[in-house]
Amino acid sequence: MSFSEIKTLFHEFGHALQHMLTTVPYAMAAGLSNIEWDAIEFPSQFMENWVYDSNTIALISGHYQTGEPLPQDAFEQLLKACKYRGGSVLLRQVFLSALDMKLHTSSDSWMSVVEEVAEIFTVMKPLHEDCIPCTFLHIFAGNYAAAYYAYEWAEVISQDAFGAFEEVGLQNRSEVSKVGRRFRDTVLSLGGGTDPKEVFRMFRGRDPQLKFLLKTYGLV
């Protein structure tokens, strides 16, 4: 499996964990059910962080012939790559989120909407031939109509949550286990039966902070 496929596997496993570890006795609010779109991607995006942990990669990687784990120098390059042009990547997500909201609240033509939003959120304006909405499958073929912003908001809370593990030291397995149990007993178990804001506060002891997201993109 490629590194990208492993990252996707960890992402989807985050969703699976919410279903497997739910303690909510009612099906309509157990697991992922009834969770607001603002937080639906929280555990999945949280899990992606572990593929950037050297301990994790050392345990799961292996050369197809020798079985040797991924070399440290290659891993360091992966860490650099994930932050390459981080500001541009973040700005693109903000642009798509704003475009989604505007398309679902405006009576103007879609091209006018694209131009209006691009004026605020892009450095290089889209070409006239660029038909972004026609390929924006999440908001038309998926379930993210007027809710694409959920990806970026979920990243805010997922990066803050991972910060709890970093603060105790990812090498400190006993402390990581303690934080992991708290994560299990709150984020992964309470499903849609508790407001996501309250669930986060139960785990972190406060509201989310933006600095963890900015750190992820290499902006602080």
| pLDDT tens-place string over residues 11-44 | 999 999 999 999 999 999 999 999 998 899 999 9
What pLDDT was estimated at residue 129? 82
**For residues 36 and 30, is the Cβ–Cβ distance under 8 A?**
no
Tell me which residue of 204, 160, 167 sits closest to 183, measured CA to CA: 204
Half-sphere exposure of 61 (CA within 13 A, CB side): 23
**What was the pLDDT predicted at 137?**
87
Largest Cα separation within the chain, whole Å, is 60
The answer to whether the CB of 52 falls within 8 A of the CB of 10 is no
The full set of domain ranges for the chain reads 1-220
Per the residue annotation, which of 12, 36, 167, 198 is the catalytic one? Answer: 12
Q: What is the pLDDT of residue 29?
A: 96
At residue 1, the pLDDT reads: 85
The CATH classification number of 1-220 equals 1.10.1370.40
Q: In the prediction, which pLDDT does 116 show?
A: 94
- Active site includes 48? no
